[in-house]
Amino acid sequence: MKNDSVAIGIVGAGIMGERLLNAILQQDPALVQACGIWDPAPAAMQRMAKTFPQVPRLLDAAAVIAASDCTYIASPPASHLPHARAALAAGKSVFCEKPLAIDVADAAAFVAEAGKRGAVNFPFASSPAVATIRRWIESGEIGTPRRIAIEVGFAKWPRSWQADAAGWLDRPMQGGFTREVVSHFLFLSRRLVGPLHGMSGKASFPGAGPEAGKSERRIAATLKAGDLPVTLAGAVGETAKDDHNIWMLEGDKGAVRLCDWSIAERRGTDGRWQQAPDALPQEQARPLALRRQLEGVAKLARGEPHHLATLADALNVQEIVEGILAG
């Protein structure tokens, strides 16, 4: 680490790679710096050259790993573990997108290998709205927690801004909204309440016709987070909204919820939902969360305690997700 600034190299120049790169460039360079980026797609590298000319475009993933203190893996899921294992073998830390792998057993083996040298990019770990919800819970506003309900919906899948990634994002091996979106809310349940277990669920996939072979279009599941029951429902094509989601925790005295990624709300004594006074839409909240995520990445790279989602967190979430999809 040069002058204690953590060098972050990026494998994958898609939407997530570009988002984190932009966040790095807006962060204090004394904390983190972008040491390079690589993507196997020439068009993606050309876009990086135009958008981020100041960032080195490296020859391959090995070059990114060699240049970095921490390697951020933002490529499609099937490639996550080969890149992550190569980074760990080179003595680097790893910050990875979810899911860890396309095979749960392989993900579990990796978690056992990696120890504490890796973390996963679940931004709810750094969300201002989640921090607000945590404060409400800890102050006793909902009383004794009773249940969690998760609801997600999409006008179509993939979402409009993900169309370029439909080749893998709308296929059952790597994609689907359960892996891409529901996993975040399962992580949130684990982080705020407890480990996930006792899942029973099912997923519906398109049958014959032009939709055949694509990712799931509906899910329903029940499980537990710690001792609390969790109900989960998701569907494509039953809402006009590009992306709709609600995570709600209800207690014996009240309830709190997170709406559309970034809006914290609590239910008043009159039964009405009220937004937190400092609530921000996702477009404004995301940069704040990414900034704090990078603070965690710097600590990870230095071997210090951090607040990021651990590999064990991600494995627990993946086990539930794949259980739903297998059902």
Please write the tens of the pLDDT for every residue from 96-109.
Answer: 999 999 999 999 99
Question: Residue 290 carries which side chain, given as an amino acid letter?
Answer: L
| Residue 265 lies in domain | 125-281+316-326
How many domains are contained in the chain?
2
CATH at 270: 3.30.360.10
With 0-12 / 13-18 / 19 or more C-beta atoms within 10 angstroms meaning exposed / middle / buried, residue 282 is middle
Residue 89: CB atoms within 10 Å: 10
Each residue of 139-159: pLDDT tens digit? 999 999 999 999 999 999 999
The two beta strands, 145-154 and 244-251, are antiparallel
- Residues 57 and 161 grouped into a single domain: no
Name residues whose C-beta falls within 8 Å of residue 189's C-beta, 6 or more positions apart in sequence.
148, 150, 196, 225, 230, 247
Residues 251 and 197 in one domain: yes
Q: What is the pTM of this model?
A: 0.96
Residues 192 and 210 in one domain: yes
Residues 321 and 299 in one domain: no
pLDDT in tens, 281-326: 999 999 999 999 999 999 999 999 999 999 999 999 999 999 999 9
Residue 93 maps to a domain: yes
pLDDT at 248 over 90: yes
Residues 96 and 116 in one domain: yes
- 61, 40 Cβ separation under 8 angstroms: no
Cα 188 to Cα 306: distance, rounded to the nearest angstrom: 17
How much is the pLDDT for 210?
72
Q: Are residues 83 and 217 in the same domain?
A: no
Residue 310 lies in a domain: no
Q: Do 110 and 169 reside in the same domain of the chain?
A: no
On whether residue 62 sits in a domain, the answer given is: yes
Segment 260-263 long-range contacts (CB within 8 Å, at least 24 positions apart): 261/129, 261/285, 262/127, 262/128, 262/129, 262/286, 263/129
Q: Is the predicted pLDDT of residue 3 greater than 70, yes or no? A: no
Report residue 98 CA to chain centroid gap. 6
Let me know whether 162 and 194 are in one domain.
yes
In a domain, 113, yes or no: yes
Cβ–Cβ < 8 Å for 33, 56? no
Mean of the per-residue pLDDT values of the chain: 96
**Which of the 8 DSSP states describes residue 70?**
E
Residue 119's contacts (CB-CB under 8 Å, 6 or more residues apart) are 93, 94, 95, 96, 296, 297, 300, 306, 308, 309, 310, 311
